[in-house]
Amino acid sequence: MKLLIVVMALLAISPIGYGARAETAKEMFDAAVQAMQEGNYAQAEAGFRKILALDPRNVSALANLGIAFAKTRRYTEAIDEYKKALSIDPSETEIQLNLGLAYMKEDDYADALTYFRRLHDREPSDQKVTMLLATCLISSGHADQGAGLLEPLAQANPGDATALYLLGLAYTRAGKADRAKETFTKLFSNAATPAQTNFLLGEAYADATDYPKAEQVFEAVVQADASFPGAHRELGKAYLGENKNAEAERELQLAIRDNAQDGDAFYYLGAILVQTDHYQEGIPYLQKASTLMPGAWATYFYMGKAELLLGHADASAPLLRKATEMNPDDAGSFYLLARALRVEGRTQEAAEALRRVAALHETGLNVERRALRDAGIVKNGGAENGP
């Protein structure tokens, strides 16, 4: 979610120390760490795997392999490595922190809360952990509790933009509009530059899906500082939210020009092109996005869709299969996969994919029925019936 962006900037993950004794293994470890610091995550991953082949219980190698996965947005794999490391040494607070962050990136706030509560209980004065715990509370329907954690931080550090931003968001989600307005007023008066002020405000509007206002303030960011990190990307996303595809494409191109490692910009640009029937043009951007963000299932969905609509069912099916494996709850991926399989004559597999589509729709309908019943909402002139 967007509200995480400010908080995540506080906690750049750094490599975790080495604990093995062999000098050759240490040299391998140091080389892998160096590769990771240089952004060569594939080389870093290979190095840590070599160490683990020699010593499967090396906590540092497990933890750093998890970091390499997290750096490439493969959060599910990162979680697995962090858990392995903690099963060997449960006291490692840095690994607990990284595990919580990985869960947050997966929008799994319930599991993230477990680790951040534990860290907060151990060190209540740690401001960064407090803000992460508050972020999870805000994102999981406990905005009042999140505000309760953030209020002392904001009072003690009135110039802390992150604490004020999160507190304003907590008040907004808790329905305390007056307090939210007061908090955001303080935030904007303390911000260092007009670009920083408007970027935070734009994030707040975007989080609330108020894209016209987000567009307005992100435009102000670009006008104040055309090189402000992420400004063109976020303005492009705001345009996309308003179906202004041409404007969105322009801004995302500028974002890529400014940062050739911006995986989100490549993904959104590729997705726009595919959605507007420019299939061949969109594929290279999505391929680049998949290398920068290998854990992002939607890149494979859009590549698969593009290949299918170009008449390349043989290329489409593996991509869509990967999308369904990475996100087994997306009915759209299974539906397109079924189409691709049918074109290839794999009718039994296509039927299995369509059965999954039906099951997902039925599950969604049942969830909706229960929600309507619990809220006391009636449909078609009568109360909802059934279990």
Q: Is residue 49 part of a domain?
A: yes
> Which residue type is seen at 127?
Q
Does any domain span residue 16? yes
CATH value at residue 362: 1.25.40.10
Residue 191's pLDDT is 54
pLDDT of residue 160: 83
Q: Report pLDDT for 26.
A: 81
Please name every residue paired with 379 in a beta bridge, in sequence order, or none if there are none. 382
pLDDT digits over 80-102, tens only?
999 999 999 999 999 999 999 99
d(CA 137, CA 4): 12
SS3 (DSSP) at 379: strand
Q: Tell me how many domains the chain contains.
A: 2
Is 184 a domain residue? no
* 122 occurs within a structural domain: no
297 within a domain of the structure (yes/no): yes
Domain final residue, candidates 107, 126, 145: 107
Domain end (from 107, 137, 153) = 107
Position 202 in a domain: no
Count, in order, helices (H) and strands (E) of the chain: 21, 0
Question: Please, which residues have CB within 8 angstroms of residue 336's CB and are 6 or more apart in sequence?
Answer: 301, 304, 305, 308, 316, 320
Choosing from 81, 107, 133, the residue where a domain stops is 107
pLDDT beneath 50, residues of the chain: 1-12, 14, 18-22, 367, 371, 374-375, 377-387
**Domain range for residue 5?**
1-107
CB 353 within 8 Å of CB 335: yes
**Facing residues of 382 across strands?**
379
CA-closest candidate to residue 130, choices 102, 159, 106, 160: 160
Q: How far is CA 175 from CA 121, 178, 216, 337, in A?
A: 28, 9, 24, 42
Per the domain annotation, does 220 fall within a domain?
no
The HSE-up count of residue 253 (CA atoms within 13 Å, CB side) is 9
Inside any domain, residue 74: yes
- The pLDDT, as a whole number, for residue 387 is 36
Long-range contacts of 210-215 (CB under 8 A, 24+ apart): 211/238, 211/239, 211/241, 211/242, 212/242, 214/238, 214/241, 215/239, 215/242
